């Protein structure tokens, strides 16, 4: 039996919607049966828990406004895929749905999931049902719950990598909502038109669910591709003699902020404690319950776990967390994070098979002009039936391939206009962008459609300087919510207004440090010119193998600003 946390006196409107939703049902079933293009304001909040966001095509606004037609409403549908593991048949099913119901593209998220964009309300139920038919789910991919659980994606025949993937599956299953609303609404469950629906025990979430979203990852010291420091909860594996002997537990990371609101800010996760391998589930449950009971339910802009940790301080956080743990809290060990592998190109799995990592620019799988990436992937997956891993860098790994697959795959890359990783610049390989305009209603500026041009310009300047073999991470978002984690990277570009951005420098590839503002309100056309003086100085004055972010961090805000 779950123990309901105390209901706070002051709550946001979304908190009231959740409490009165009959475990996330609201009026969703009735709204789906109604001939309309959108949901009510209350129900558009609830569909997030079911894996969808109500959006509109912002490119179409001007013409529709002129014609008096109003907004062109559509929906994003997100799959929750622990560790990014997808079978060949699942990939092909999602690819087919992209053609049937969405805009003909697939998007790999920076949290190892799939998104479909452009789904109409009339097709929403069928889309979600068919996703479940292929044994994937959208439940909990969005909303105020534990979202997709990430793990290093490389399919090495290593007990350590395999254990982290297994742990991700366990945590994802244990902390999925128990409500039957998802089945009843989307999967032809028993609709309840008279009387109350069947309510079940929610032992973790209670009737209020969490104050905001909650993100969990597993990582290795040499493989922090999951961005441990940007997450609400992270488990950093401690490995000895090829086996995991414990974990440092991190908590309180998060990237979201609001321009002009100094009470909101990005925050790097802190090492809280050290646990044995058999204490992972209890530790995760303790942190989630602490957040459930103590997170801010009045102001959603300040409702993430990071603000609890920031406001309390780490010692109080540890003291309170101890009351949720069935074992004594042990202080964390010194386990440095050192690596951020991309896993692109050919790799030996260690079991006689190979995987091939294909770089997907900004995660968008599409056919456009001479680039026929979506067609190529479909043909390769149909032929070889590989297992698939989606990476946090929005790339795709084709796994369990025979060595004999190499010549055909190499040839198909050329035929379908898909660049091999060795022909892609390091700065592009280490870049990320969120979708932003036209689908995201929160976007203030372009990101996915703008970053390729910025990267092209940056590539040219880096080549002139002889810095083209340097690993420099660039992350761009259309708003300050920071979905692709721009505040940890060497270079962060965050939408400010229209074609203007806030430019950040001073993070690093492994994401263990926040960057800082180099310049605000930079026009898109001035982003690379603004960086160029710093890049010149970096070439001349860096120390040893110092990375660009490390160099900027060493100089500090004032000196970087004076140079830039």
Of the candidates 410, 335, 323, 417, the one whose C-alpha atom is nearest the C-alpha of residue 370 is 417
Are 266 and 506 in contact by the 8 Å Cβ rule? The answer is no
Q: Which of 25, 107, 121, 213 is catalytic?
A: 213
215 is catalytic: yes
* Cα atoms in the Cβ-side hemisphere of radius 13 Å centred on 6: 6
Can you read off the two tokens belonging to residue 90? 């699942």
Q: Which of 48, 85, 107, 215 is catalytic?
A: 215
Q: Which of 134, 434, 552, 560 is catalytic?
A: 434
φ, ψ at 137 (rounded to 5°): -145, 160
Residues 15, 16, 19, 24: what is their CA dihedral angle, to the nearest 10 degrees? -80
Q: Which of 25, 48, 78, 366 is catalytic?
A: 78
User: Looking at the DSSP assignment, which residues form a beta bridge with residue 399?
Assistant: 387
Of the candidates 199, 178, 188, 85, the one whose C-alpha atom is nearest the C-alpha of residue 132 is 188
Q: Is 505 left (phi over 0), alpha (psi -120 to 50) or beta?
A: beta
483 is catalytic: yes
Helix-helix angle 88-100:121-133, to 10 degrees: 170
Q: Which of 79, 134, 142, 440 is catalytic?
A: 440
φ, ψ at 474 (rounded to 5°): -125, 130
273 is catalytic: no
Q: Find the DSSP H helices in 261-389.
A: 280-294, 305-312, 314-322, 373-384
- The alpha carbon of 135 is separated from its chain's Cα centroid by a whole number of angstroms, namely 21
302 is catalytic: no
560 is catalytic: no
48 is catalytic: no
φ, ψ at 383 (rounded to 5°): -75, -50
φ, ψ at 529 (rounded to 5°): -55, -35
479 is catalytic: yes
Q: Which of 147, 364, 372, 374 is catalytic?
A: 147
CA 16/CA 482 separation, integer angstroms: 26
Catalytic residues: 78, 147, 213, 215, 434, 440, 479, 483
């Amino acid at each position: 039996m779950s123990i309901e946390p105390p209901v706070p006196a002051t709550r946001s409107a979304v908190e009231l919607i959740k409490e009165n939703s009959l475990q996330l049902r609201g009026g969703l079933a009735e709204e789906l049966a109604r001939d309309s293009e959108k949901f009510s304001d209350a129900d558009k909040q609830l569909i997030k828990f079911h894996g969808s966001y109500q959006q509109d095509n912002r490119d179409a606004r001007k013409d529709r406004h002129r014609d008096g037609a109003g907004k062109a409403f559509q929906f994003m549908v997100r799959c929750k895929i622990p560790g990014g593991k997808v079978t060949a048949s699942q990939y092909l099913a999602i690819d087919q749905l992209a053609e049937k119901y969405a805009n003909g593209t697939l998007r790999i998220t920076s949290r190892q999931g799939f998104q479909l964009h452009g789904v109409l309300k009339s097709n929403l139920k069928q889309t979600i049902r068919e996703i479940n038919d292929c044994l994937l789910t959208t439940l909990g991919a969005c909303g105020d719950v534990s979202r997709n659980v990430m793990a290093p994606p490389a399919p090495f025949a290593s007990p350590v990598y395999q254990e982290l993937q297994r742990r991700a599956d366990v945590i994802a299953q244990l902390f999925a909502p128990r409500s039957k609303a998802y089945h009843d609404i989307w999967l032809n469950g028993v609709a309840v038109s008279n009387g109350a629906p069947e309510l079940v025990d929610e032992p973790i979430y209670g009737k209020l669910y969490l104050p905001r979203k909650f993100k969990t990852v597993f990582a290795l010291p040499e493989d922090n591709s999951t961005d441990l420091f940007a997450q609400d909860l992270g488990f950093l594996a401690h490995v000895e003699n090829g086996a995991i002997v414990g974990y440092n537990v991190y908590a309180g990371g998060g990237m979201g902020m609001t321009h002009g609101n100094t009470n909101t800010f990005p925050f790097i996760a802190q090492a809280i404690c050290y646990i044995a391998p058999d204490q992972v589930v209890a530790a995760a449950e303790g942190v989630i319950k602490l957040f459930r009971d103590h997170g801010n339910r009045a102001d959603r802009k300040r409702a993430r776990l990071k603000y609890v940790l920031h406001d309390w301080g780490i010692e109080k956080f540890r003291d309170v967390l101890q009351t949720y743990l069935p074992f004594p809290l042990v202080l964390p060990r010194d386990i440095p994070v050192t690596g951020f592998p991309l896993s692109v190109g050919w790799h030996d799995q260690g079991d006689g098979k190979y995987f091939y990592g294909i770089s997907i620019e900004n995660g968008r799988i599409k056919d456009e002009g001479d680039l026929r990436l979506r067609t190529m992937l479909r043909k390769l997956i149909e032929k070889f039936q590989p297992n698939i891993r989606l990476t946090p860098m929005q790339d795709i790994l084709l796994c369990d391939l025979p060595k004999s697959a190499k010549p055909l795959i190499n040839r198909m890359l050329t035929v379908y206009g898909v660049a091999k990783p060795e022909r892609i610049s390091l700065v592009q390989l280490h870049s990320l962008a969120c979708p932003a305009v036209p689908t995201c209603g929160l976007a203030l500026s372009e990101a996915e459609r703008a970053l390729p041009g910025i990267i092209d310009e940056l590539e040219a300047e880096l080549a002139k300087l002889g810095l083209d073999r340097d690993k420099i991470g660039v992350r761009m978002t259309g708003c300050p919510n920071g979905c692709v984690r721009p505040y940890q990277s060497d270079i962060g570009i965050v939408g400010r207004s229209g074609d203007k951005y806030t430019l950040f420098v001073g993070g690093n590839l492994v994401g263990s440090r926040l960057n800082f503002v180099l310049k605000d309100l930079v026009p898109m056309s001035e982003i690379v010119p603004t960086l160029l003086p710093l890049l010149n100085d970096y070439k001349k004055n860096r120390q040893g193998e110092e990375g660009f972010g490390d160099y900027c961090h060493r100089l500090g805000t004032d000196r970087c600003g004076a140079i830039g």
